[in-house]
C-alpha cells in the first residue's frame, strides 16, 4: 500500500465515521410507533431483541421462526412492553415462502429479514448439499419474502432491512457455506437498490453488516476460537432498527478495522448507474 493510501484510507474512514454516527442522532423511537413490522428469526437472538425494541416503540410486530412455543413467549413479552399489536407465524422459511398474511391484511411498513439456518464454524467439508440448503434458507427465502412483500412496501413507502455479516463482505476462514449466502444477499439487495433508485421506487433497502454478536448460537460456535469479545445483541438490535428507520443503505455494527476499506467498495457501487445509457429510466 502506497504512502498516499496509508494517509487517505484512515482519513476517509474518519470522515465517513463522522457522517455515519452523526446521522444516527436523527433517530426518534416514535418513528416506529404504529408501524407494521415483520421480523423473521425472532424466537431468539438478535431477532428476539429487535421485536422487544419495536414493541417498546409501539410498533405492530409480527414475528416468525420455526419454534412456536418460543415465539409465543416473545409475543407475550412484546404485548407487555407496549407493542401496538403482536402476532406470530411459525414455520420454516425457504425459497417458496410467502410473506406471512395476517399482518399484510393491514399493510406493511418494514420487513426485517434476519433468520439464519444452522451452519458450522470450521473448515469447509465439501458438502455441497449443505450449501444448497443454506442458500435456500439464508438467501432465497429473503428474495421470496421481498418479492411477496414489495407491493405492500411500495404502497407504504416502506423499508426492507437485511441482516448480514462482516462474513458477507470479507472472506473469513471457517465460515465458507454461511459466507457464500451472505455475499449473495449483498449482491442481490445492493443491485436491487440501484434499480429502485433508477426507477424511483420509494422502498429503502438497508444492509446490516454485523461483527461477532453475543447470541447463544454464535458464542457456542465461535467464542473459543475468536480473539475478540462478542458485542451485545440488545444494542446490535437497536442499531439495526435505527438504520432501517433512517433508510440508511448500510449499517455496520461493530465498527472494526475491516470496515474502512469496505467503504471505498461501497462508494464504487454508487458509480455503477453512470456506466449505462438510459431512455426514460429503462435500458
Ligand X SMILES: NC(=O)C1=CN([C@@H]2O[C@H](COP(=O)(O)OP(=O)(O)OC[C@H]3O[C@@H](n4cnc5c(N)ncnc54)[C@H](OP(=O)(O)O)[C@@H]3O)[C@@H](O)[C@H]2O)C=CC1
Ligand Y SMILES: C[C@H](CCC(=O)O)[C@H]1CC[C@H]2[C@@H]3C(=O)C[C@@H]4C[C@H](O)CC[C@]4(C)[C@H]3CC[C@]12C
Q: Which residues bind ligand Y (CB under 6 A)?
A: 121, 165-167, 172, 175, 178, 211-212, 217-218, 221-222, 226, 256, 258
Q: Is 105 exposed, middle or buried (0-12, 13-18, 19+ CB in 10 A)?
A: exposed
The x, y and z cell numbers of residue 279, run together, are: 431512455
Question: Taking CB under 6 A as the criterion, which residues in 58-77 touch ligand X?
Answer: 65-67, 70
Work out whether 93 is an interface residue with ligand X (CB under 6 A): yes
User: What is the distance between the alpha carbons of residues 103 and 54, in angstroms, rounded to a whole number?
Assistant: 15
Going from the C-alpha of 145 to that of each of 37, 83, 222, the distances in angstroms are 13, 23, 29
Applying CB under 6 A, among 36, 38, 47, 184 the residue interacting with ligand X is 47
Peptide bond just before 254 cis, omega within 30 deg: yes
178 counts as catalytic: yes
User: What is the distance between the alpha carbons of residues 61 and 50, in angstroms, rounded to a whole number?
Assistant: 10
41 binds, among ligand Y, ligand X, none (CB under 5 to 8 A by kind): ligand X
For the CB of residue 110, give the shortest distance to ligand X in the complex, in Å.
16
- Maximum alpha-carbon separation in the chain: 58
**For ligand X, the closer CB: 90 or 194:** 90
**For ligand Y, the closer CB: 198 or 226:** 226
**For ligand Y, the closer CB: 52 or 252:** 252
End-to-end alpha-carbon separation of the chain, Å?
A: 38
Work out whether 213 is an interface residue with ligand X (CB under 6 A): yes
Number of continuous H segments (helices) and E segments (strands) in the chain:
10, 7
Work out whether 210 is an interface residue with ligand X (CB under 6 A): yes
172 binds, among ligand X, ligand Y, none (CB under 5 to 8 A by kind): ligand Y
Question: Taking CB under 6 A as the criterion, which residues in 162-181 touch ligand X?
Answer: 163, 165
For the CB of residue 2, give the shortest distance to ligand X in the complex, in Å.
32
Among 184, 196, 204, 199, smallest CA distance to 251 is for: 204
Choosing from 142, 178, 252, 253, which is the catalytic residue?
A: 178
142 binds, among ligand Y, ligand X, none (CB under 5 to 8 A by kind): none
Helices within the chain (DSSP H only): 3-24, 45-56, 68-81, 101-104, 128-135, 141-156, 176-198, 216-222, 233-245, 259-270
For the CB of residue 164, give the shortest distance to ligand Y in the complex, in Å.
8
Number of residues that bind ligand X (CB under 6 A): 26
Query: What are the residues binding ligand X (CB under 6 A)?
Result: 41-47, 65-67, 70, 92-93, 114-117, 137, 163, 165, 210, 212-213, 215, 217-218
Amino acid at each position: 500500500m502506497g504512502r498516499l493510501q496509508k494517509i487517505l484510507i484512515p482519513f476517509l474512514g474518519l470522515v465517513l465515521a463522522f457522517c455515519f454516527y452523526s446521522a444516527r442522532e436523527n433517530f426518534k423511537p416514535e418513528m416506529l410507533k404504529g408501524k407494521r413490522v415483520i421480523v423473521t428469526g425472532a424466537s431468539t437472538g438478535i431477532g428476539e431483541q429487535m421485536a422487544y425494541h419495536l414493541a417498546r416503540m409501539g410498533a405492530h410486530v409480527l414475528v416468525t421462526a420455526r419454534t412456536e412455543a418460543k415465539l409465543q413467549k416473545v409475543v407475550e413479552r412484546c404485548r407487555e412492553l407496549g407493542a401496538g399489536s403482536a402476532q406470530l407465524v411459525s414455520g420454516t422459511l425457504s425459497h417458496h415462502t410467502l410473506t406471512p398474511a395476517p399482518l399484510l391484511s393491514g399493510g406493511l411498513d418494514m420487513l426485517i429479514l434476519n433468520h439464519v439456518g444452522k451452519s458450522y464454524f470450521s473448515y469447509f467439508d465439501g458438502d455441497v448439499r449443505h450449501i444448497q440448503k443454506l442458500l435456500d434458507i439464508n438467501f432465497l427465502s429473503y428474495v421470496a419474502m421481498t418479492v411477496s412483500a414489495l407491493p405492500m412496501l411500495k404502497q407504504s413507502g416502506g423499508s426492507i432491512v437485511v441482516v448480514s455479516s462482516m462474513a458477507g463482505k470479507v472472506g473469513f476462514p471457517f465460515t465458507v457455506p454461511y459466507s457464500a449466502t451472505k455475499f449473495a444477499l449483498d449482491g442481490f439487495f445492493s443491485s436491487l437498490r440501484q434499480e429502485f433508485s433508477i426507477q424511483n421506487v420509494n422502498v429503502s433497502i438497508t444492509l446490516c453488516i454485523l461483527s461477532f454478536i453475543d447470541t447463544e448460537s454464535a458464542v457456542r460456535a465461535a467464542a473459543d476460537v475468536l480473539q475478540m469479545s462478542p458485542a451485545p445483541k440488545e444494542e446490535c438490535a437497536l442499531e439495526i432498527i435505527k438504520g432501517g428507520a433512517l433508510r440508511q443503505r448500510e449499517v455496520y455494527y461493530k465498527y472494526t478495522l475491516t470496515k474502512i476499506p469496505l467503504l471505498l467498495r461501497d462508494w464504487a457501487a454508487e458509480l455503477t448507474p453512470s456506466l449505462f445509457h438510459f431512455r426514460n429510466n429503462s435500458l
